[in-house]
Amino acid sequence: MPRSKKTADETTDQADAAGGFSDVERAAMKERAAELRSSGRGGKKKADDLANVLAKIAEMPQPDRGMAERIHTIVTAVAPHLDPKTWYGMPAYADENGKVVCFFKGADKYDSRYATLGFEEAARLDDGSMWSTSYALTDLTDADATKIEALVARAVS
């Protein structure tokens, strides 16, 4: 069966033929650069970071928004000492050193078939010589929420 040709619109979000970054990847890097430029210390920054995370979540289409809201609630309840912040334009939660412990990447951001709950190196999920650091989500059931609570608790233990 022959492949259908992609339109110009379909290729704008893909890496160029020379192996460059896609438009979406470039936008995420620009968001990260802006985040770094605006980083500072103190309560105002934490309040601004929280407002930015909530704004990013509010911008998400469903079902990403619903999952991100629920994950935000879980993380802030299980690990209230983690600071919400945006990270490459995604909601993330950082430790006292500013290192990202976990993040949520909506499916819509990269036109993926699933959203991702990811954990970075600051998360203490080590289990032998191999362990999972990201989880695909198409929905967030009560059973999933219970697993996420346990993962977050373990990540910050």
Domain count, the chain: 1
Q: Is residue 18 part of a domain?
A: no
Q: Is residue 29 part of a domain?
A: yes
Residue type, 128: G
How far apart are alpha carbons 86 and 84 in whole angstroms?
A: 7
Q: Is residue 37 part of a domain?
A: yes
* pLDDT band at residue 133 using 50, 70 and 90 as cut-offs: very high
Instruction: Give the domain extent around 89.
Output: 23-155
Domain with residue 46: its CATH number is 3.90.1150.200
* Per-residue pLDDT at 41: 55
Q: Is residue 13 part of a domain?
A: no
Mention every residue, 6+ apart, whose C-beta is less than 8 A from residue 139.
Answer: 63, 67
Q: Is residue 2 part of a domain?
A: no
Q: Is residue 99 part of a domain?
A: yes
pTM score: 0.75
How far apart are alpha carbons 61 and 106 in whole angstroms?
A: 9
Per residue in 13-61, pLDDT (tens digit) is 445 555 677 888 777 777 776 666 666 555 567 778 898 999 999 999 9
Q: Is residue 5 part of a domain?
A: no
pLDDT > 50? residue 11: no
Residue type, 103: F
